[in-house]
Chains A and B, each alone.
Chain A
Amino acid sequence: MQDKITKLFKAIADPTRRDIFHALVIATSALSITQISNQFEISRQGVTKHIKTLQEAGLVVIDAQGRERFCNANTKPLQEINKWLQFYSQFWDNSLQNLGNYLNSKT
């Protein structure tokens, strides 16, 4: 879980990547590298690099059609963040409960 989180955070740490990801999420269909490049006024090369990072984090799935590559957003990995928060929220609740019990039992 932690390894995945590291990749995920690296991917969404960059504002441009977040914007690209957001654009992919709200798009009704997959966007090609060209379309993303036009929309963000950054080079194809730049877009390709960002997409690769997003892909490594599992946030983007690429579908190659001929020479063009189409990008789909995948929001599932972000659930890892929520898992992390849920996990530690429960962890600290339990730990503080233990602390309370410990203090009560200590004379």
Chain B
Amino acid sequence: MNDVIKKEVTLNHSIDKVWNAISKAEEISTWFIQADFKAEKGYRYTFTSEPNEKGCTVISGEVKNANPYVLVYTWVVADTKVETTVCWELESTQNGTKLTLEHSGISNYGGETAVKMFESFNGGWDNCFNGLSGYLKEEVNAG
């Protein structure tokens, strides 16, 4: 178990096209989530999920870095005080653009050691997550 979520994808598109998709409010609102967003350092953005029976989920935070092709912003769900960080990094490749996404900061609260410590003495978590896929589906739909 890692305390940083890291995703890498290669997109068969130019780096500027990908950059616009992840940094321009109207594009973010199309493929990701309704966004009031500016790729400017210090900008306080708001993402609003599609409403469901529980209402809307609002994600907010501050843009920490927005130099092409690195975009970093904090990520706070609703009025929780758990602040994590999302980092997008783009790199031109022969095939298009390599996108690296990192969502980190969860260990600022517990410390990586705490997470690892737990892992070392509890091997069998899988059974606990039988009900998770339905939950994930619901939550992802909620945004």
Contact = CB atoms under 8 A, between A and B. Distances in A.
Instruction: Tell me what chain A mostly uses at the interface: helix, strand, loop, or mixed.
Output: helix
Interface stretch (A31-39, A45-53, A76-84): A76-84
Contact of A6 (B2, B99, B109): B109
Nearest to B32: A95
B56 interface: no
Contact of B118 (A78, A84, A98): A78
Interface residues of A, number: 41
A13 B111 contact: yes
A72 to B, nearest CB: 15
Interface in B17-59: 17-18, 21-22, 27, 30-32
Interface of A: 2-3, 5-6, 8-10, 12-13, 15, 18, 22, 25-26, 75, 78-79, 81-96, 98-104, 106
Given A12-B111, A100-B11, 10 more contacts: A8-B109, A12-B110, A13-B109, A13-B110, A82-B125, A85-B5, A90-B136, A99-B31, A101-B31, A102-B21
